[in-house]
């Protein structure tokens, strides 16, 4: 076809059939060039492989000729053990291909296994998806301390309004693996001031910056609370707050120093899980909800407490941080799981643990665990208000007539409030059912869908509800007086009242 026809845009059938042929031939040319380059690469790789195989065979021949001869020292020493192993493992050769030399096949298998093992180790060592374990840091001392009558130092912390403006004083012993830094986690200073609350927390003996007690029990724990109150200038009655296992120290204060206590606020209060006065339903409802490891910890604390040191050294005394449910063998509900994953909770938890284990000793934790499951020296039923009058009989009547003795009330006369999450798997609701049965005067606030931590930790509205329940409408701090505020002498403590 002519150029004129082509430029005039006249198409012919012959031209239309040639266009596809042109493109196809061009593609074939390109693929030919690429295949030629691939052939070069393949040839180079094949030649390199043959060289490596030849080098390997040469090295093998050298080793066989010099070190694997019948009279060589290596063969004479290893022939016997190798033959024994080969005889015992000969049945494994049945799984190998029939056209392969067993020696070569097993050599390849071993090399592949070693290579895979090395690759897995390298990947695990550099896997960026695995979070780094945070190490425990022991902070410099920062607590204010008082000197107790027996010579021990007790560390404490104050929040809220000063002593001369406090409408209500609240003292809180902490629980297991905690410290004076816990208190009410996340409580706002503005809320404490709004209700005129002076909030005091302290380190139990051997925890944080407090000295250990050589013969600690719940009686001495109650006396420590009174000594602290006297030393920091709490002259009137004060409230006690107990959360989880820290509640047993608050219970002790109600028993041993009831004349100094205005009331008690308990949150998921732990009781002795071996308490004989619990019913079968209360006992089973408590134990069945716990995981096996937690049950083991309680059993060891009761029977073989010294064995706990090993488990503690593998968890919170290992020098590394861990999850609270793993460290304390806990089962958590949905709200608690969500809360413990929050950065705010993790930061609080890590700092509280670091302060708690400051002494780096398992002894105070073993003492605390054993104290929880041992005889407390009193029953919770002893706190129930009862009217005690002179006994019956003629002699009691004459004694009553001449002495004018009146009936008296025994037990704790102040209010006891208990908050219990119904999805709590750390201190199950069955424990609060037991407390409510033996202390019918206690006011129980059951919290649907709440867990062990979810209501008490980092919940502004919950904290407001708590203070409103305990103290009524907020009235703010007391008006300032002209008297200078008393300061605590770190070397002295007031005598017990």
Distance CA 272, CA 269 (A): 10
Question: Could you read off the pLDDT of 82-121 as tens digits, one per residue?
Answer: 677 666 656 556 655 655 566 666 666 676 677 766 766 6
Find where tokens 């009146």 sit. 406
- Position 81 in a domain: yes
pTM: 0.71
Residue whose C-alpha is closest to residue 160's, from 200, 202, 198, 201: 198
Phi first, then psi: what are they for 226, rounded to 5°?
A: -65, -45
The neighbouring-strand residues paired with 300 are none
- By the 10 Å C-beta count (0-12 exposed, 13-18 middle, 19+ buried), 64 is classed as exposed
- Position 74 in a domain: yes
pLDDT at 133: 77
pLDDT at 480: 81
Q: CB-based contacts of 260: which residues, under 8 Å, 6+ apart?
A: 226, 229, 237, 238, 253, 497
Question: Could you read off the pLDDT of 49-81 as tens digits, one per residue?
Answer: 667 667 677 676 666 666 666 666 666 776 677
pLDDT at 31: 42
pLDDT at 132: 72
Determine contact, residues 417/445, Cβ cutoff 8 Å: yes
Domain residue limits at 57: 1-88
pLDDT at 30: 43
Determine contact, residues 421/365, Cβ cutoff 8 Å: no
Helix (H) or strand (E) holding 330: none
Question: Could you read off the pLDDT of 438-458 as tens digits, one per residue?
Answer: 999 999 999 999 999 999 999
What's the token pair of residue 457?
């930790």
Question: Could you read off the pLDDT of 147-181 as tens digits, one per residue?
Answer: 999 999 999 999 999 999 999 999 999 999 999 99
pLDDT score of 1 more than 70: no
Higher-confidence residue: 488 or 308?
308
- Position 47 in a domain: yes
- Position 41 in a domain: yes
Side-chain half-sphere CA neighbours of 75 within 13 A: 10
Number of domains in the chain: 1
């Amino acid at each position: 076809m002519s150029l004129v026809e082509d430029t005039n845009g006249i198409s012919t059938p012959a031209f239309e059939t040639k266009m596809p042929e042109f493109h196809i031939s061009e593609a074939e040319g390109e693929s030919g060039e690429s295949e030629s380059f691939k052939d070069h690469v393949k040839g180079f790789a094949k030649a390199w492989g043959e060289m490596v195989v030849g080098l390997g065979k040469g090295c093998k021949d050298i080793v066989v000729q010099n070190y694997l001869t019948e009279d060589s020292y290596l063969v004479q020493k290893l022939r016997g053990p190798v033959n024994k192993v080969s005889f015992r493992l000969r049945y494994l050769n049945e799984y190998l291909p029939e056209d392969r030399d067993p020696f070569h096949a097993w050599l390849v298998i071993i090399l592949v296994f070693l290579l895979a093992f090395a690759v897995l180790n390298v990947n695990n060592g550099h896997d960026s998806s695995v979070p780094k374990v945070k190490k425990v840091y022991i902070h410099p001392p920062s607590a204010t301390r008082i000197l107790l009558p027996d010579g021990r130092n007790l560390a404490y912390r104050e929040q809220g309004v000063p002593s001369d403006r406090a409408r209500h004083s609240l003292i809180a012993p902490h629980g297991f693996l905690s410290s004076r830094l816990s208190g009410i986690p996340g409580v706002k200073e503005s809320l404490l001031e709004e209700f005129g609350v002076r909030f005091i927390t302290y380190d139990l003996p051997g925890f944080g910056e407090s000295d250990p007690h050589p013969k600690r029990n719940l009686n001495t724990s109650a006396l420590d609370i009174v000594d602290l109150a006297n030393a920091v200038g709490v002259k009137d009655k004060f409230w006690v707050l107990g959360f989880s296992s820290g509640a047993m120290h608050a219970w002790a204060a109600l028993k041993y120093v009831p004349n100094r206590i205005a009331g008690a606020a308990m949150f998921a209060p732990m009781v002795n899980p071996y308490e004989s006065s619990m019913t079968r339903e209360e006992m089973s409802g408590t134990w069945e909800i716990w995981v096996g490891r937690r049950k083991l910890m309680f059993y060891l604390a009761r029977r073989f407490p010294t064995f706990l040191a090993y488990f503690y050294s593998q968890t919170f005394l290992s020098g590394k941080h861990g999850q609270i449910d793993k460290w304390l063998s806990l089962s958590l509900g949905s709200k608690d799981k969500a809360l413990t994953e929050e950065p705010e909770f993790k930061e609080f938890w890590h700092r509280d643990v670091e302060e708690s284990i400051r002494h780096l000793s398992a002894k105070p934790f073993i003492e605390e665990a054993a104290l929880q499951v041992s005889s407390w020296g009193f029953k919770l039923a002893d706190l129930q208000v009862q009217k005690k009058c002179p006994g019956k009989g003629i002699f009691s009547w004459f004694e009553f007539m001449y002495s004018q003795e009146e009936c008296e009330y025994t037990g704790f006369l102040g209010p006891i409030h208990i908050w219990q999450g119904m999805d709590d798997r750390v201190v199950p609701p069955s424990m609060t059912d037991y407390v409510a049965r033996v202390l019918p005067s206690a006011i129980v606030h059951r919290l649907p869908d709440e867990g062990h931590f979810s209501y008490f930790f980092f919940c502004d509205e919950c904290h407001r509800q708590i203070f409103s329940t305990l103290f009524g409408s907020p009235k703010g701090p007391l008006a300032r007086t002209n008297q200078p505020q008393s300061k605590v002498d770190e070397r002295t403590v007031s005598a017990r009242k």
